[in-house]
A and B are shown apart, each in its own frame.
Chain A
């Protein structure tokens, strides 16, 4: 949503005397985070620092990991696994989703696989991948197969189901319009089909990354020799619980960075037309 649009929304809210919702819009998130910090601090006060550090101590420890470069080494390992898992899941899930959306034969053929995939927890795939890939030691360079396979198998059904529904619900009137005006297939793909299924693609990407992160970390807990998951597990093994909290904080920071630094701006840009439409005053013949 553009600043102009956001301001227009605030204007409308103010004109309607809706100050309460304006305040809750702006502050609810911050209050929520603040309450979380207070509760964490109160809880931390009941335990030894080595077991549960306060939020400020945790941020300090996390900064230490970032400052001495340790965090980057392991984050890059996790990122590498996630990148490949996400790519494979998007390719596999996207292809199945398009096929399922286009014809009922493919839909009937692939539905059991997607349903089974949705019902198997990531933890199970992580354990299976750990066993199959010889305790995680099979690797291509620095890339460990077990986290990639576990995350790919967990994520692809979510991608497939989103893309399937997107393709299935394409506005056929628009396709007929494009056909009537003899528009080329490439132009139809870019200007009609992709914008039409953009919300589902976006949802698939978001879901895919969110689940992919978790499963990659879990697989690294089982089968890693590097990565954020491996470091978390290692910290617990050597009773350095405060370091485990610090790794969790680093991980949380990256997720927030991706959400607000990548997803939100793309979402605002891609769906700006929706908010403009919501704010408009429709009238006239």
Chain B
């Protein structure tokens, strides 16, 4: 077999054999392989440096602080990049077939489970009628999706979907509405009776 130690000049097969034997087992007393010693000492040196850097002299940033810094920077940069979102922009987006079909994709994979693929409501309310719980303007809907309404079971999708996908999804919802149409504010939504007995259809891929 190809064991390098078989052939290395400093490792003859005999010699260094300790005199004692245990149940017939004998022991050589070979020198420790140099590369092995280097990994041992190298890891120790690294340990000292690491400890000095993060703890003894506190040069490195602790992980929690580093995380907060990174996320804050990310948020500032992302906000600078994305443009303004308001009712007007969202209405305009709702007329753009490209944006609407991108929004439909997000809706079908994320929202349809609760709001039903045709948006007529399941666990979550109907989105194509004129009744609204948290306001009927596109920015109201954007806020509801972005921040969620935890008490009513609507998760905050902002951290998961991001501004772009949320505005697309909102544009898709409002492609079923028109500016200036009737808006009735209602206190809540009651799921249709027996609806939970029937599993909702799987989301379209």
Chains A and B bind each other: no
Q: Which residues of A contact B (CB under 8 A)?
A: none
Residues of B within 8 A of A (CB): none
